Amino acid sequence: MAKQEVQKPGPAQNPITVDESKTVSCYANFCRVTGSPEELIVDFGMNAQPMGANDKPVEIAQRIVLNFYTAKRLLHALHVSVQRHEEVFGKIETDIQKRVVHKESSAS
């Protein structure tokens, strides 16, 4: 991946160079947040049975530990990103029961 510059918030506005050459991407459909008074711990994993009986444990593949300052910046960045997505594509419904489409049975 190429290097890119990211604008740092603040009065100086000096760009930060980011090296993504060693970045590893992974997919997660499960997230758990725990923490301590000093840090937040965010675990990401794959739930192989998101809608059925969960007889297999969720495998945690990645753990990110953040201080609360970085967590708040991440919260804001995620909020803005989701808000922009919903403005273009519509509301994201997180309650699966509200997303399920029930077919009406046809009476013969």
Contact at 8 Å (CB) between 34 and 41?
yes
The DSSP-derived string for 30-98 is EEEEEE-SSEEEEEEEE-S-SSS---SPPEEEEEEEEEHHHHHHHHHHHHHHHHHHHHHH------HHH
Would 90 be classed as within a structural domain?
Answer: yes
pLDDT of residue 8: 54
Please report the pLDDT score of residue 5 as a whole number: 57
* Mean predicted lDDT score pLDDT of the chain: 86
The total domain count for the chain is 1
Residue 38 domain-assigned (yes or no): yes
Report whether pLDDT(14) > 80: yes
For the stretch 25-80, pLDDT in tens is 999 999 999 999 999 999 999 988 877 677 788 889 999 999 999 999 999 999 99
Q: Residue written as tokens 């509301």? A: 91
Q: Where in the sequence is the domain holding 57, given as residue range(s)?
A: 23-96
